[in-house]
A and B are shown apart, each in its own frame.
Chain A
Amino acid sequence: MSKWAKWTESEGPLSPSVVSTRVRLARNFTGLPFPGTMRTEQALEVVARIRGVVEASGKQKGLPEFRLFPMAELPPVDRLALVESHLISPDLANKHEGAVALTEDQSVAIMVNEEDHVRIQCLLAGLQLEEAWRLASQVDDWLDGEGNFSFHEEYGYLTACPTNVGTGLRASVMLHLPVLAMTSQIEKVIATIGQLGLMARGLYGEGTQAAGHMFQISNQVTLGFSEEELIRNLKAVVEQIVTQERLLTRNILAQDRMRILDRVHRSIGLMLGARVLDSNEAMSLLSDIRLGASAGLIKLPQHVLTELMVLAKPHVLQTECGQTLDAFGRDVKRAELLRERLQNALQSNR
């Protein structure tokens, strides 16, 4: 298991189409300028405040224990691995006065001094929007204490960027939609989603070119609706998309079973045989294998494939093997690690 992606250890509801759910809340302390205008000592004060609360976290009933990692104390490769595991944003990784507080299971990450003082982020496997919101809100209450966060009676929670004001909530769902993408229907889905107050984008690439057929859907509007409404809307749309993906998968299997079977097994063959594998190719092979597993063509737990998807990333890969490698070295190591893990998973599920 890679050090920074524990959320991939389990499978969640609507897996394999839904890979993961994330809910993040943007919050700012009263009496301090937003991170973009803060002086260094003010930034350090924010970190100190979070450190204080976090150190007491183990003793609080019903709350998980957090550990604080200041960015300045993390080696660059670990920072980037955190980004690749979706635990922190690329912006935070570059902030000298930034920090992240993580729970042991890494389901909650508190980003400190990113664009806002605090960004509470809850990351769970599968579709678990309500659970993620509940957990994030609980951590929010705890950090808010006796009213520490900036709140405006009309605009709600105040954020550095007006696109986050109100609830400060951004809920997003990562989806694996190979069949919608292969049949070029995904463009239509993406276009329609914009009309529903949601936003869709390909992860690691754009549109149908999205490497690994991974897409992220999130709410666009943060003001005027309650958190529950925003989440309900997103959930309903995600469920619709998953239904479409499943229907299309069934149709395509009915018409072209042999071709799909061929594609899946070729990808397995390539992954087991490759000695040099770049991350784009790895993503696309994993996508095919994942499709095979979700369509019931092969026996393989989905979470293993999610794990491999994260492991294929350059910096996660290097933290995993504990070595600094150049691009070619990484491609060789990637081929080796993915081959081993896939072989083990296939054997133990035979």
Chain B
Amino acid sequence: MLCEQCRERRATVHVKQVVNRDATEKHLCEECARQSGEMDFLNLTGGVNISSLLAGFMNLEQAAAPSKQKGESCQACGADYRRFAEGGRLGCAGCYQTFAKHLGPLLKRIHGTLLHNGKVPRLRAQEVTRKRQLIQLRQELKDAVGQEQYERAAELRDRIRRLETEEGGGEV
């Protein structure tokens, strides 16, 4: 089969698009497909690459919450969300805070979880252990309340309060 566009080269890219049950098909050669943007989802030189996949994920997030995207940029480095959505790379550590709302679901999709469970820098060990304990206790408290174990819930609440008032309490 020859390419529909140039009618010179062999058609090796077959694109089937279904919009509201209307299916259209295109048969193109690699070059015409690339020019017409039909192959943007593939990185032909190195297979599917991570940033194009991520960008795909990000576009999903974006479609789900389009209104939040506009004009959102990181105060620390100036990188805007669109740049991240396109390139899959964040601008700085601050971006994790700025784009937290969108990054949460994304990280969950990539890693299946949102909580680091590995190495902690030596100097942060105490503080992070306390935070982790708090997260764990809060979950236990929720479970206890759900199961109507009020005595246990009260005990957990007290432990949480004690931990919260310890040195450096509050969010870091």
- Chain A positions within 8 Å of B, measured between CB atoms, are 28, 30, 32-34, 36-37, 115, 137, 140-141, 144, 146-147, 149-158, 160-163, 165-167, 169, 206, 221-227, 229-230
Contacts and interface: CB of A to CB of B under 8 A. Distances in A.
Q: Which secondary structure dominates where chain B touches chain A? A: loop
A169 B131 contact: no
Contacts of A152: 93, 96, 116
Interface string B119-142: 111111001100100000000000
Interface in B69-114: 76-79, 87-93, 96, 103, 106-107, 110-114
Given A33-B77, A155-B116, A150 B110 contact: no
Nearest to A137: B119
Contact of A34 (B88, B92, B115): B92
A153 B131 contact: yes
A229 B111 CA distance: 14
Nearest to B47: A206
Contacts of B122: 141, 144, 147
Interface centre among B77, B118, B131 (most CB of A within 10 A): B118
Contact of B50 (A34, A161, A227): A161
B54 interface: yes
A33 B76 contact: yes
B19 interface: no
B93 A156 contact: no
Contacts of A224: 111-117
A43 B92 CA distance: 13
Given A144-B121, A167-B119, A162 B106 contact: yes
Contacts of B112: 221, 224
Contact of A147 (B110, B119, B124): B124
Interface centre among B51, B111, B123 (most CB of A within 10 A): B111
A115 B89 contact: yes
Interface residues of B, number: 38
What are the 7 A-B residue pairs with the smallest beta carbon separation, nearest first?
A156-B116, A224-B113, A223-B111, A33-B92, A167-B118, A150-B93, A37-B91
A149 B93 CA distance: 10
A33 B113 CA distance: 25
Interface of B: 47, 50-51, 54, 76-79, 87-93, 96, 103, 106-107, 110-124, 127-128, 131, 172
B123 to A, nearest CB: 4
B123 A34 contact: no
Contacts of B113: 223-224
Contacts of A221: 110-112
A292 B131 CA distance: 55
Contacts of A153: 116, 124, 127-128, 131, 172
A165 B107 contact: yes
Contacts of B114: 154-155, 223-224
Contacts of B172: 153
A165 B121 CA distance: 15
Nearest to A29: B93
A166 B87 CA distance: 20
Contacts of B128: 153
Given A162-B107, A224-B113, A151 B120 contact: yes
Nearest to A222: B111
Nearest to A169: B118
B93 A158 contact: yes
Contacts of A115: 89
B91 A34 contact: yes
Given A151-B124, A206-B47, A167 B116 contact: yes
A225 B76 CA distance: 29
Contacts of B111: 165-166, 221-224
A227 B119 contact: yes
A34 B120 contact: no
Contacts of A33: 76-77, 79, 91-92
B121 A162 contact: no
B118 A155 contact: no
A350 B107 CA distance: 56
B8 to A, nearest CB: 28
A147 B92 contact: no
A190 to B, nearest CB: 13
